[in-house]
Structure 1
Amino acid sequence: MTKTCSSTNQQAFQVNADDLARELQLSKLAKALSHPARVRILTILLKLDRLDGCLNSDLVSQLGLAQSTVSEHLRILKVAQLISVEPIPPKMCYRINRESLNEFSHLLSDFSN
């Protein structure tokens, strides 16, 4: 049995500037979440956020990765605005950015509808 594809109106494939902006934002956030270590970092930060806390301890021991690798993962999450960083000497305090996570969820929901 052969399946056929029905043709659609070409206007269905037109993309406006708002669509492009949403797609770029979705891809930026998805790329930042594309590594298991970054997902793990966000999971840790989400748990701390529920306790109204932030992470200022050593992630290296929790992730089992080199300090430079953890720093790079944190940098990527910060650039994507999924986390915020606040200096609390002598360390940095990392917090989840709920607004960006909510935006990602919203963009993904729009994408799947």
Structure 2
Amino acid sequence: MSKVLNELTAIASNNESLILQALNASNQRQVAELVKVDASTVSRMKTDKKTNGLTEVEFIGSLLAALELKVVPESDVYCSPEIAEATRVYLAHAFTSREYMRILFK
């Protein structure tokens, strides 16, 4: 298997896992009502294999991975790689500054 396919599969598996964890931690009846389906539909999405050999949750996880998207908890905060790099550079400079350290640990 290629490195790209391995990474895609790992991301898809992580997406599926997060979706299943969230479903298992939720009140599935309420979730079903919110998306206007029967509770049994949500249950089947987790367990019934389709002709492609995937459950709907597995398919959604794979689809998101193929689209280079990922599932994260709503409370997580997104930071672009550019912002993360700028923060790293800023902190690297800040922590080498005697004046900054003096103010920080006053």
Query: Shorter-normalised TM-score: what interval?
Result: under 0.3
TM-score by length of 2: 0.27
Q: Comparing both structures, which one devotes a greater share of its residues to helix?
A: 2
TM-score by length of 1: 0.26
Higher relative contact order (CA 8 A, sep 6+): 2
Q: Comparing both structures, which one devotes a greater share of its residues to strand?
A: 1
